[in-house]
Structure 1
Amino acid sequence: MSTPEPTPPSSRPRPRWRFWVLLALVVGGFNTLLGIGAWTWWTWDHLPAVRALEDWHPEQPLRIYAANGRLLQAIGPQIRFALPLAKIPKDLQAAFIAAENGRFYSHDPLYYPVSYPGILRAAFVDIIHLAPVQGASTITEQVARNFYLSPKKTIARKVAEILLAYKLADHLTRAQILDLYLNKIYLGQGAYGVEAAARTYYGKDVSQLTLAQMATLAGLPAAPSYFNPVKNPQLARERRDYVLHRMFADHDITHHAMVLAEAQPIRARYHAPANNIAPYATEWIRKWLVKRFGANFTYRRGLRVYTTISPRDQRAADHSLAVGLENYAMGLDSLDPKVWRGPIARLKGAALKAALAGGRPSVLPDRDPANLRWGVVVQSSPGEARIRLEGHRSVILDRTDVAWVRLPPQGLQASAVNQVLKPGDLIWLRHYVAATNAGAGNRVWGATAVWQRVANAGWQLAAVPKVQGALVSLDAHTGAILALNGGFSYKLSHFDRALYAYRQPGSGFKPFVYAAAMDAPALKAAGHRHYLTPVSLIKDTPLSVPLPDGSDYRPTNYSNTFSRTPIAVWQDLADSHNVPSVRLLLHIGIPYAAAYVHRFGFPVQQIPQVPSMVLGSGDYTPMQIVRGYATFANGGYRPRPYLVSRIQTASGEHISLRDCALGYKPETPSTPAIPSGVAFLMTRMMERVIHQGTGVAAQILHRRALAGKTGTTNGETNAWFTGYSPRVVTTVWVGYDDNHSLGRWAAGAREALPIWIHYMKAALQDERGLRFTKPTTVVRRRYNPKTGLLAHSGPYKAYFLKGYLPPRGGSGLGAIKHFFHKLANFL
């Protein structure tokens, strides 16, 4: 058998599949490259234009400032402060470059505007971790991403970022790119840009930062939450030191400077954009701006609103109103005892443990109201209780600190501390306040309790009052609102009672009607034959006035008593008698009085043309009342109250305030609302209110030039005091929102006057030696207090309008006959 010969290797057939695989790879690769190229070209073509960044202005929040330039509130989605690169310190610029892009100023195309070695290094780390854990974005790329792209880590976004970085590099200089970066970068705690971060973490401008602080901020872009110097100081320190070493390596700082900066501790803490001390005022401004311009323009265009609020006066208003309302709730300045409502809650188990460690109990509001602080009772005994104050320190309350408490249901005063406080009780505390009687010399009103802080006296048990109040203070001459408070705590109630609560002013309304009676020329022009003077006598006897509906109106005095003899107009106002006031109104006529009251700015529809008008039966806001009293204080001109002095855009353009109800208007009234002589006579009479009337407690201020008037309504539902100096006029209202009674013995002199006194003590610090100016239309003459007529001699003198003096009284029987004739004409 013969063996077949093998086929030579060269003659064997080659496998055809290799060819096709190779061809497919070549074609596929070509198509892939073609597709990538087309996609890259499409991405480039659809990238946004970057020329607009040459004139970029960042979105900035609304900022509202006090009169002295202090920031009251910043409102907006982001905290920003646009700052030109020239105003950013060189060391701060170098710190961010060292931390984020050391070759930012390089001309090597491998490193600018994109760092390809950085991309390869990041890709290698991502492959090892099988996740995008490391970035490689230069400062230029970060600007591209921050302005135009999302932060989501994808290949598509990275390619777009690289392409956009080239666009930026073609159109902008490196200084422009760095300017955009330092003003746009997010640095944690809601702060965008280096200036916002400097203020947020250190409460400083960038120009005031130390090298160590600059390096700390420069370490934040990599991970703002992770390297946050407030939350993670140790990690922030490590990152800061890394930045300092990079700066030294880049020859930006010396070795000595680096060592000194590394030795600095991390002392950052969160600084709120503003500590808003006037939330009721800023809320009014915010609402008006949104209504006028819309939310987008209001919150994002960097509006700067400059107000008339005086920080000193506003703080005094907040504290005075809060303490006064707390005192009422605790029964410290009232003759009506208040029953203890008990603790806020009784904590047990985990809730108690967390509170003792400083955790805020969930039953509390987000922030402490007014000047109150929360605490938890740890131990209690008959003599004292140990309190953990907000979980940070221990304080002791003894019998004195809980002495005001009356226990339900009988309202008996507690005799032991542990009757009131038990372990686990969650309570409110405040700094100890002692109530002291002031204004001795008046048998009725000398008991007004004017409180005072006792140095180093510690804390006392307190309660959130259910009663509310309002305080408005104006510059009497310009109308500038110095302080405005619409309630006990803005955190608990946003309703602004100073501007929107319409309440009866009681006797606080009398001065407006009395001014109508003192304006002798106006009275005569209205057809009256007989005019009045401050010393005219009015009968104080029971009065019955027939009403159109067939019923009778019978006014009564607060004391439910009457005088045996007629009393002078000024004394009637000082002692706040009601019946003589109604007689005075009936004498001048209700229509005339209503028309005259309108001069003080009260809308006609709010003035009830009834006999009780003089007793304050109409409804008015505290702002309306204080505006009316300002007319007396400034000599007869009705001011226009304003809160906003000017508004500017971020570029410095002024916005018109013509449509702003509380905006400054440059026009001034050319003629007075009432004659200056009438304003002066009313001021003199209201000075007597403080010297010897219902406002006598205000003598504790030791000011000669003070005038004012108390007000209490029927049923004791409202308590007022409105008063003024030659410059400042202030009104205080106290009452319940549901208009129920403050208590049988509540009165303006007890509930409202102490608040006014404490506020004015602060507001008048700079007002020394001022006096109310006597106009030339007023003269001073001797008079007989028994007749109200002029006298040839005697110790009694009074002011009168020139040309409208009372007759000169004779002597003996003739004078008596003349007196009774005048009295009969009046009655």
Structure 2
Amino acid sequence: MRCPRCGQENAAGSQFCRHCGRKLPKSAVKPAKKGRGAAKKTAEPNAKAPRQFRWGRAVGLAIAAMAVLGIAGAGYETLKALHSMPPVGNLVSLTTAGQDSVVYDRFGKPVATLHLSTNRIDVPLKDVSPNMQNALVATEDHNFWKNDGFDLRSIFRAAYVDLLHRGSLQGASTITEQLAKMLYLHDNRSITYKIQEIILGLELARSYSKQQILDMYLNQVYLGDGAYGIATASKAYFNESPSQLTIPQAAVLAGLPQAPSLYDPITNYKLAKARQLEVLQEMAKYGYIKPSQVKTYYDAPLHLSPQKITTAGQATPFPYPWYIQHVIHVLEKKGFTQQEIYNGGLKIYTKLDPTVYNIAQNAVDHWMNYNFGSNPDYQAATMVENPKTGAVWAVIGGRTYSTAFGQDLATSKQALRSSGSSIKPLMEYTEAIMQGYTQLSVINDVPTVKVNGQWWPRNDDGIYRGYIDLRDALAISDNDASVHLLEQIGLQNGYNFATQKFGISTLPAVDAQSAGIAIGGFAQGGVNVQEMTRAYATFPNGGTRMKQIWVSKVVDANGSVVYSQKPQGTTIFSPQVAYIMDKMMERVLYPGELPGIGPGAYPTGVQLGIGRPAAGKTGTNNGERDAWFMGYEPQMVVGVWEGNKMGEYRQPSTPNGLAYGDVAAGPIWKQIMEQVNQAEHIPVEHFKRPSGVTYVSNVSITSGKLASALTPKNEIEGAWFINGTQPTTTGHTHVRLKVLASNPKVLWQPGCGPAISQVFLIPPPNWKAPEPKPWSYTQWPPTQKCTPGSSPSGNSSSSSSHSSHSSSSSPPSRSTSSPPSSQSPSSPPPGTTLPSSPPSSSDSPSGGPSPGNGGPGNGGPGGPNG
């Protein structure tokens, strides 16, 4: 219709002129329909009133479509679709008006109002480059200029695929149908909604010209980066008007409607270019460009010039922005349109806890300012989840909220980071317990290979501890022990458990040289806070991994529940395994030095106790680029990542020391846990002990078996065991030998004078020269024998190399896959004479870790233990 003020044409049914803003006459009507495929002219003010929607024709066409699809019960589905059909109003007015949606917290209180009134500038179709129009049509609906609003061939093809896979209807939407979905429907991919989509598409095609439909679509479609409509998107990505878009630029934008976040050229350039190539190939296929031009346009520069798209009048569009923005992403994935989410009058019930959210944001801000000042290069992210239900109470994606996709460092798949040692419970320790290991099974902490001139794996404190049980190894985050453990349980087994059971979906594939993944050394890929928090929530929930719940229910403007989610979990290991892991990770927070394993053996979370039962694990990457603390109590799990935003350089020290997991991420975790417990009045609970576990009080931490009469008291510990795995035999890692009374460093022989008896530790069976000796080597038996008749001091005695146990009594090699009870070395009975050669191992790895897999200097966490 023509505006009486400026004389410009507007789409039929418009209430206001898109050129000057004047209110248009109400007498204007829709254009008269012409022949099939022909463009329709805008109706004159005195034209005949528009025809009403012809339900009989729509029903007939819908039933015919269902017959073609061959879906049983088509008539019933059609009637159901018509019964629940949304009211059809003036489609153009729907693009500028609507009812705000309201977001509710987990207590049912409204916390935010959503509205779609910014980030969009309408432009008439004549001001959109033909390049953009052609690219969109070729990609989304190549028969657009000929079809009647739906494409029968595409529907038939999609139906055939669905019947083969027994699933709901796939794709097959025309541009007209997509516009109908934007304005009216949330596509849950059901047959009923597909029928409604077809019917609404038919009405659109009957009432509006192709140019008007394309006009409305281009001004309505969400194109990522906060941009709605082609004008805003052109500005956001290229700082251009839509009339100036080149073919390469148009091909990028035309590829966005399918997955705006995934193909965003600013945050995911490689995928955006791959999608651009697909669009260019479609344009060549349907004659918009020549096949020979595809490569030329693909190689042409895009001239990306990102512009910030902001919401007018507010620094953030709504309160609790990190959480609510993710709720919007969740609803988009469920098929809700942008128009419906913001302007559909929805009541969106979430699991947001405002108190927890504010505590988490304050903890991030406080500790980041304390450790790194206001420098935005250093960021942190956190998530709080109820492990029993999977309800996410809070998520903080960074220090300052940003609307740009990819800035949510807690949930974004574009913000993957090295896990450091926080991957250990997921990659090797739980799988080991599943295989029958116990928390006091012993592993030998000695390095085996050299990488770039350094022994690998390397422990942060430079100490190798020889015999060490799994519980203590995890508590001090011993890197060497973790690599050996992963080799024993099977590298592929550990990888499969982390990815398939715990759901860490972003780890790269592994091969025989990928041992560094045991300590978080990933050649590529990585983890984010969301996946790690969800995985760790499995432990306090007795081995059942819950599907996270962000949105519990959505009610539409008519009061109908259109979406709901109940707690849903998958048991991935037994409550007994979960309880053993709980007890092992409680050890990480033990408030003191661990006995019997050498000097400086403090748990990595020694200063992070919260005054009630809790468990957790630290993680640190090389150069302190990434710091983690993943921790929990029975009612709550909190995951924290902190690090250099882009990961390109090491972080500086904090006032409390190097930015390890316990220093940079741990205090954030501790503050959240303590303050939420207090604010929410969460009662103190112990981890629930299931049936089928047994406590044994006298276990040797150097053998993993019952302590012998020679076991030193500081090496005897008690622990819980899954029934059937508790030790029942005595271990012998110590031996009593006679040495010269005048020189205890010399073994006594008859004729050498007075002797005394001393207890010695048998050397770890995997140690061999020139490997670094573990701290306990001073407890090894002497290798020098006295010579009968020599001086009492033994100075004239002969010297030869002696081992500490006979070859017939040596334990299985480190690479054995035997049950863990056989991993602990045994020794000859006390007093048995030792053989004459030191222990040696023939089962050392054939090669070191590949670059990027955790070796020194290769990007893996070969430095900090935490």
Q: TM-score scaled by structure 1?
A: 0.49
Q: Quick check: which one's helix share is greater?
A: 1
Q: TM-score scaled by structure 2?
A: 0.46
